[in-house]
Amino acid sequence: MDNAIVIEPRTIPKARLWTALAAILLGQFVVAIDLTVLNIALPEITRELNPASDQLLWIVDVYSLVLAGLLIATSSLSDRLGRKKTLLTGFLIFGIGSVLVMPVDAPEQIIAIRAFLGIGGAMIMPVTISMIRSIFTNPKERTVAVAAWSAVSAIGMAAGPLIGGFLLEHFSWHSAFLVNVPLVGAAFVLGAFTLPEVRLKNPGRFDLPGSVLALAGMVALLWGVKHLAAELALDTAGAAALAAGIVLLALFALRCLKSSNPLVDLSLFKSTAFSAGVMATMACTFALAVLLYMLAQWLQLVNGDGTLESGMHLIPMSVATLVSSLGAASLAMRFPARHVVAAGLAIAAAAMIMLFFFRDDLSLAPVIASTCLVGLGTGSLAIGASLIMAETPVEKASSAGSLQEISYDLGNVLGVAILGSLASVIYRSELSVEALRAMGLDGQTIDAAQQSFAATAEIATGYGLPELLGHGIDAFNDSLVITCLIGGIIILAAAVAVWKLVPARLKVTESEGAEPAEAPHPSSSPKSAEPAT
């Protein structure tokens, strides 16, 4: 089957190409900040809407569940409907969903809106990177574009708490949603005028049963992991959902491998460089998710920051990520990709591990130093993303985009769920029952104090027990540094894997992957292409 890519218009001026990139980056930034901005608004949402505990869990989780479940289907549809149409529709859904929050007065309504935003996010996230792969055919320009995309993704997640903190200082919780409107509005206008339409010439039939398998499998898997993490026990419902998710995704993978026209092309993993890029992305996101999750609490509960101040303390990390991502692109033009990525990951790993040596006297200075070095090291993920795209034929860019975004989403969810749960276990073990009984606390109060440091601090203040507060701080510091130690070891393992899997002389600024002969170059007129409609 002729799977040539069709790009319309066939010739794209340089100025329009880079303006189109601005639209892509704006869209990616909105989706990235939405992964973390809600965390700051949750206390106010809870006070105003008074959701039940299971409703609160769905408010947090439904966005990532819907997004992850639909990534594969929307990527495949974008090849058929056109990547520009898909991306602009995603912007529109995101803008509408963000405005719909204004009259909300019940938890069920905000859950529905978050699910609606997840649909928009699933149409934006994979298409942004596949669009870059399609329109930037010059490998050096593509490396810079992917580096910018990677930087925006990381900065968006880190900037979420800062943006949320600033808005919550001055406005209601609705502003955490409304901030999306001007951003996606600008992205929509820019994209409508500058983005070319990109689609496959002969994409084949859309695999509806396969898309249902992928949706059900991803939702069941992620819900099961989150549920088990929340319960901190082998709960029947969580275990059943986890098992069902694994089985459904295994069936989906088998369907893809046997199909002549799969929803996602798993043969991409035959490239060791592609596999290394996906592995590095997932490992880093896994570790970074728990770092941001724990630091947001540490800054406010231990360091005494307000919501805005805690966000400001994460700015150095964002700046370091931006500088490093763009710097990694320059380094990749001079050195082999595996040197750049492995060295960056090693720096990030060392930065997370270093906090363990401050466990007895953890203060703001080593925390800021560590986060800056983490940002400096994880900027190399820009080249990890370039590895994925450089090793991907242009007609398979949607498959690569969906796999890359799934690695981001899975890494984020699993990092918070698994390492976050481990942090809770460590906190409870450090806050021993015997020590709390010696302070005069009864069994019910002890159980409440062990739930979280926030609860411990409230009980310590109410009972006038400064020693309980100090004990809670020590326990929370231990849980933070130990989970960061484990996260650092995981990133270090990813660095070793990248070094072993990526070919020694591979340069992403020189590799074009398996570019098909029929695919038109954006800066030249191809011999055969049909107009996109």
Give the CATH number for residue 322: 1.20.1250.20
Q: Are residues 277 and 377 in the same domain?
A: yes
- What is the extent of the structural domain holding 153? 9-207+261-434+470-501
232-269: buried (b, 16+ CB within 10 Å) or exposed (e) per residue?
Answer: eeeeeebeebbebbeebbebbbebbeeeebbbbbeebe
Residues facing 7 on adjacent strands: 198
Considering the domain boundaries, does residue 141 fall inside one?
yes
Q: Is the per-residue pLDDT at 519 higher than 70? A: no
Residues 223 and 245: their CA atoms lie apart, in Å, by 9
Residues 406 and 281: their CA atoms lie apart, in Å, by 10
The pTM (predicted TM-score) of the whole model is: 0.79
Q: Are residues 256 and 268 in the same domain?
A: no
Considering the domain boundaries, does residue 459 fall inside one?
no
Q: Are residues 255 and 269 in the same domain?
A: no
Query: What is the secondary structure of 235-300 as a DSSP string?
Result: -HHHHHHHHHHHHHHHHHHHHHHH-SS-SS-GGGGGSHHHHHHHHHHHHHHHHHHHHHHHHHHIII
Whole-Å CA distances, 78 to 125, 150, 203, 218: 12, 21, 10, 20
Q: Are residues 232 and 193 in the same domain?
A: no
Q: Are residues 317 and 407 in the same domain?
A: yes
Q: Are residues 136 and 253 in the same domain?
A: no
Which of 495, 72, 492, 491 has its CA nearest to residue 276?
A: 495
Dihedral (CA of 94, 42, 227, 232) sign: positive
Indicate the range of 180-189, 206-215, 394-403, 431-440 predicted with least confidence.
394-403
Which pLDDT tens digit goes with each residue over 84-107? 999 999 999 999 999 998 888 888
Structure tokens at 374: 């983490």
- Give the DSSP H or E segment for 7: strand 5-8
Q: Are residues 372 and 477 in the same domain?
A: yes
Residues 209 and 212: their CA atoms lie apart, in Å, by 5
Q: Are residues 203 and 213 in the same domain?
A: no
Which of 53, 44, 82 has its CA nearest to residue 170?
A: 44
Q: Are residues 239 and 273 in the same domain?
A: no
Residues 305 and 20: their CA atoms lie apart, in Å, by 39
- pLDDT for residue 482: 93
pLDDT band with cut points at 50, 70 and 90 for residue 528: very low
Distance of CA 386 to the CA centre of its chain: 17
Indicate the range of 287-296, 306-315, 465-474, 481-490 predicted with least confidence.
306-315
Which pLDDT tens digit goes with each residue over 204-259? 788 888 889 988 998 888 888 877 776 666 778 888 988 999 999 999 999 988 88
- pLDDT for residue 518: 39
Q: How many domains does the chain have?
A: 2
Between 196 and 450, name the one with better pLDDT.
196
Residues 402 and 520: their CA atoms lie apart, in Å, by 23
- pLDDT for residue 232: 66
Q: Are residues 247 and 280 in the same domain?
A: no
Considering the domain boundaries, does residue 457 fall inside one?
no
